[in-house]
Amino acid sequence: MPAPHQEHISALARLREVTWGLVLLIAVVAGIGFAMLYSAGGGKFDPWATRQMVRFGAGLAILFITATIDLRFWLRNAYIIYGAALLAVAAVEVIGMVSGGAQRWINLGVIRIQPSEVMKIALLLALARYFHKAAFEDVTKPARLIVPVILIGAPVLLVLKQPDLGTAALLGFGGTAILFAAGVKPWKFAAGGALALVALPVAWQFLHTYQRNRVLSFLDPQKDPLGSGYHSIQAEIALGSGGAWGKGFLQGTQSHLSFIPETQTDFVFAMLAEEFGLMGSLLLIGLYFAIILYGVFIAMRSRNQFGRLLAIGLTVNLFLYVFINIAMVTGMIPVVGVPLPLISYGGTAMLTLMFGFGLVISVYIHRDARIGRFDEET
């Protein structure tokens, strides 16, 4: 059952529908990111802040283009995108095997793409489509869960093998969130969780030594304070020494004297918390939560299941990024290598995030499109 009044609006009209509040929130967070990269560069725009700005610019373009594309396009092509992404992830694995080392990139000459980043959104698209097309009554049937579990499981296993614990966690939890939102019965998650717990010792066998060390050093960072636990301890010192108000912009001693590694990427939050204290941390978490609220609001406002699931999935995805990164930097979970969205330096992550936000806005623009279970075939 099409909704005629939304069928034929122009791209310009769609652009007018863009949720500017969300874009503004995104820009503010990215702005904080530029400031932190400026600080991480030792008070210079080079080498990180400038490039990140350029990437954000490109990301904004992607966001607007994605937002104005008809949502049904994504619904139609969800499986194709998923399949391509899965192939790319597998290809990376094969290339890595051939070249004799772990690899996460596909080099396209002009840009290098990290297929696992693209996979995060492709998986959400595929799952959203699957449950969009599933009859409400069917969702509760255990047999209907086989496909989504495979959809989630295949990339998770491939990524785990790379090995990339952070991405695997993001894919796994992000996919599970869509399952949950789609209405899968809670006890099934409990069962799945129990199963995972049983599988844990087996998984341990497949972990690389450095990953085992990370887990072990997380469990007891003081055991090897100069080895694998060093970064966690130094990050905690950085955070803690920030106090309530922080040491001031560019004044973080831990960050600027190289006690914390990777201040421009995964540990950027430690620097932010050191320089701006608890207040700065709260402000940033607040901004993220505002974006999440926006996302949930858009999901609930949507009149089609695909849009709802996609929006909630992307929102949870953002949340997972934030939570895993901060929990990792504050020493609550092992160091797994997840960037802080919109702030950490990194190209693919920025572009895929902006692509994701574009999809969320697209969901909002097409909020009133009543897309039926079989509508995309028209």
Q: Which two tokens stand for residue 246?
A: 């922080």
Closest separation in Å from C-beta 282 to other proteins:
7
- Per-residue DSSP letters for 168-228? HHHHHHHHHHHHHHHT--HHHHHHHHHHHHHHHHHHHHHS-HHHHHHHHHHH-GGGSTTTT
Query: Where are any strands of DSSP class E within the chain?
Result: 106-107, 112-113
Considering the rule CB under 8 A, would residue 330 count as an interface residue with other proteins? yes
Whichever of 37 and 326 has its CB closer to other proteins, that residue is: 326
Subset of residues 118 to 147 that bind other proteins, contact rule: CB under 8 A: 135-137
Q: Which two tokens stand for residue 189?
A: 């998650």
CA–CA gap between residue 296 and residue 312 (Å, rounded): 6
Among 19, 52, 211, 254, binds other proteins (CB under 8 A): 254
Considering the rule CB under 8 A, would residue 281 count as an interface residue with other proteins? yes
CA dihedral angle for residue 172, residue 177, residue 182, residue 188, rounded to 10 degrees: 70
Considering the rule CB under 8 A, would residue 174 count as an interface residue with other proteins? no
Indicate the SS3 state at residue 55: helix
Stretch that binds other proteins, among 101-109, 143-151, 251-259, 335-343 (CB under 8 A): 251-259
- Per-residue DSSP letters for 68-97? HS-HHHHHHHHHHHHHHHHHHHHHHHHHHH
CA–CA gap between residue 174 and residue 313 (Å, rounded): 6
Stretch that binds other proteins, among 23-31, 47-55, 300-308, 361-369 (CB under 8 A): 300-308
Considering the rule CB under 8 A, would residue 273 count as an interface residue with other proteins? yes
Considering the rule CB under 8 A, would residue 183 count as an interface residue with other proteins? yes
Closest separation in Å from C-beta 19 to other proteins:
17
According to DSSP, residue 251 is labeled -
Q: Which residues contact residue 248 at a Cβ distance below 8 angstroms, ignoring those fewer than 6 apart?
A: 275
Tell me how many residues contact other proteins (CB under 8 A).
49
Considering the rule CB under 8 A, would residue 310 count as an interface residue with other proteins? no
Considering the rule CB under 8 A, would residue 3 count as an interface residue with other proteins? no
Closest separation in Å from C-beta 299 to other proteins:
6
Closest separation in Å from C-beta 237 to other proteins:
5
Considering the rule CB under 8 A, would residue 220 count as an interface residue with other proteins? no
Q: Which two tokens stand for residue 1?
A: 């059952």
Q: Which one-letter amino acid corresponds to residue 193?
A: G
Closest C-alpha among 288, 338, 284, 373 to residue 75: 373
Closest separation in Å from C-beta 278 to other proteins:
4
- The DSSP bridge partners found for residue 106 are 113
Q: What are phi and psi of 113, to 5 degrees?
A: -110, 140
Considering the rule CB under 8 A, would residue 173 count as an interface residue with other proteins? no
Closest separation in Å from C-beta 341 to other proteins:
14
Stretch that binds other proteins, among 55-63, 96-104, 116-124, 290-298 (CB under 8 A): 290-298
Closest separation in Å from C-beta 303 to other proteins:
8
Q: What are phi and psi of 211, to 5 degrees?
A: -75, -40
Considering the rule CB under 8 A, would residue 226 count as an interface residue with other proteins? no
Whichever of 45 and 297 has its CB closer to other proteins, that residue is: 297
Residues interacting with other proteins, by CB under 8 A?
A: 135-137, 177, 180-183, 234, 236-244, 253-254, 256-259, 273, 277-278, 281-282, 285, 288-289, 292-293, 296, 299-300, 305, 308-309, 312, 316, 319, 322-323, 326-327, 330, 332
